[in-house]
Structure 1
Amino acid sequence: MFERIIVAADGSGQSLKAAEKAIELARVTGAHIYVVYAVDGTTSKADVLRTWNSLGITEKRNEKLTYIEEQAKINKISYEVKIVRGDPATSIVRFAKESRSDLIVIGSRGLNQLQQMVLGSVSHKVAKRATCPVLIIK
């Protein structure tokens, strides 16, 4: 069924829920998981303001993914962490194509219709642009 699953992760509660679902699917199907963390200009600026050195930034980003890595290990799931750069939706879709992934699992922030229309949402953009199935977790 699935051989390669991407879970979009940023450390938020929604991304942790998405990771739990991806791990559950991987456990059933034997799929490999790519934990993809997208870093865009806004994320980079925020990271620099919070942490003043590049080692600290990398460490903070990795901390956001620790829970997911622990759960993958506990469940004996094959996984890799990938940091991609650029617009999150574009970067996730590009990585999905390059890795020939079968499924993208992504959390939804639950924007209302006005917020979604004005701001757009990463999950909505991924769902529109991806060539593989996308599972959006609320």
Structure 2
Amino acid sequence: MFNRILFPTSGSPISPKIANMICQLIKEDHDRQVQILTVAEFPNMPSNVSMLLDDAGVHVEDVILEDVRARIDQVVKIFEENSIPYHIKIATGDPIKTIIKEADAFQADLLIVGHHGESSFADFLFKGNITVQLINEAKCPVMVLK
């Protein structure tokens, strides 16, 4: 039924539950494709701060990418324990636009996301909840897990 599953994750506490759900959906059909997507956001820093960090041998992009990999390790472990093939994609940009763009590029026929209610009230009023925006903008079905 669903052959190309996109799993955008920030490594939130619900991520292992979603990974386990994907394993249940796929079960023995390993012809299906799973792509784990993480959208890394690189902060804009004043040039003098960037230069100081570079001089100290600290590369912000490397630190952020290392953190991203550490956050998705737990879901990767679940897929490996269940012998589920997967691909990892790390992208940058606005999370909503990037997830939609990657879903289209991957030709996802299912997007599985978590609803964890971590958005502030102000974010919800002015930007909207990420899950709600994905439901409204995705071209494919969106499964939301709580």
Give me the TM-score of the superposition, normalised by structure 2: 0.78
The answer to whether 1:27 aligns with 2:27 is: yes
Partner of 2:82: 75
| CA displacement at 1:77 relative to structure 2 | 0.6
In structure 2, the gaps of 5 or more residues are 45-49
Partner of 1:123: 131
Question: In the aligned structure 2, how far is the partner of 1:28 from the partner of 1:106?
Answer: 22
Greater mean alpha carbon deviation, residues 21-30 or residues 117-126: 21-30
| CA displacement at 1:113 relative to structure 2 | 10
Aligned residues: 132
Partner of 1:7: 7
Superposition misfits of 4+ residues, deviation over 3 angstroms: 111-115
In structure 1, the gaps of 5 or more residues are none
AA in 2 matched with 1:39: A
| CA displacement at 1:128 relative to structure 2 | 0.5
What pairs with 1:59-98 in structure 2 (closer than 5 Å)? 59-98=66-105
Partner SS, residue 91 of structure 2: strand
| CA displacement at 1:18 relative to structure 2 | 2.2
Question: In the aligned structure 2, how far is the partner of 1:39 from the partner of 1:96?
Answer: 16
Partner of 1:102: 109
Higher Rg: 2
Aligned sequence identity (%): 25
Greater mean alpha carbon deviation, residues 3-12 or residues 102-111: 102-111
Query: In angstroms, what is the RMSD of aligned CA positions?
Result: 2.5
CA contact (8 A) 1:9 1:19 kept: no
| CA displacement at 1:85 relative to structure 2 | 1.5
Question: In the aligned structure 2, how far is the partner of 1:79 from the partner of 1:112?
Answer: 29
